[in-house]
Amino acid sequence: MELDVATYQRVLGDEIRRLRKQRGWTRKDLNERLQSDISLQTLATYELGTRQVSVVRFVEICLALDALPHDLLARVHERVFTHAPVGRIRIDLRKVVRDRAPELLPLRRWAAGKLAGEQAPQGGEVHLDISALERMAELCGMETLDLIARLRRIGGAPVNTA
């Protein structure tokens, strides 16, 4: 198994950001709860995954968020490694098109276009990696984890491409 550092950092940052937003906090709110003095810019780079966070700083952020560091790392590990080294999920486009959740409209339109195209995927299924899922989540106005959970409920299944 190989570690993709950039993906791991990005997913870790996404989890930190998700917890912060779940609490209704701004970065400034979180920063005020930290023991050490770091800039809002530094906190932003942690959340964006463009800067590595030290173990001590990670624990400090988790404590400020009232989250257990090992729980957050377990979620990151699951997102990065559980189903495949590249974190792919299999999506049945036919089921996505049938789903009527309003927030999935951009995804539904994309799926319908893929199915109607000349190069429609065999069996109506595609495999999306984490970067595609992140873009889709952004278009749908959702967190990536929420979109993945929704797609699994709709009928997407994890795939091991190893």
Give per-residue pLDDT as tens, 36-80. Answer: 999 999 999 999 989 999 999 999 999 999 999 999 998 888 777
Give the pLDDT score at 160: 38
Bridge pairing between strands 125-128 and 157-158: unpaired
Give the pLDDT score at 108: 93
> In what side-by-side order are the strands of the sheet with 125-128?
125-128, 89-92, 157-158
133 or 78, which is more confident? 133
Give per-residue pLDDT as tens, 6-32. Answer: 888 988 999 999 999 999 999 999 999
Task: Record the pTM.
Answer: 0.54
155 or 72, which is more confident? 72
DSSP state of 151: H
pLDDT band (50, 70, 90) for residue 158: very low
3-state helix, strand, coil in the chain (%, to 5): 65, 5, 30
CA distance 51 to 42: 8
pLDDT band (50, 70, 90) for residue 107: very high
Please give the structure tokens belonging to residue 31: 């920063």
Mean pLDDT of 125-142: 85
Radius of gyration (C-alpha) of the chain in whole angstroms: 17
In sign, the C-alpha dihedral spanning 134, 135, 137, 138 is positive
Give the pLDDT score at 157: 47
Mean of all residue pLDDT scores within the chain: 85
Q: Is a pLDDT exceeding 60 seen at residue 83? A: no
What would the DSSP string read from start to end of 29-82?
HHHHH-SS---HHHHHHHHHTSSPPPHHHHHHHHHHTT--HHHHHHHHHIIIII
Paired strand residues for 128? 89
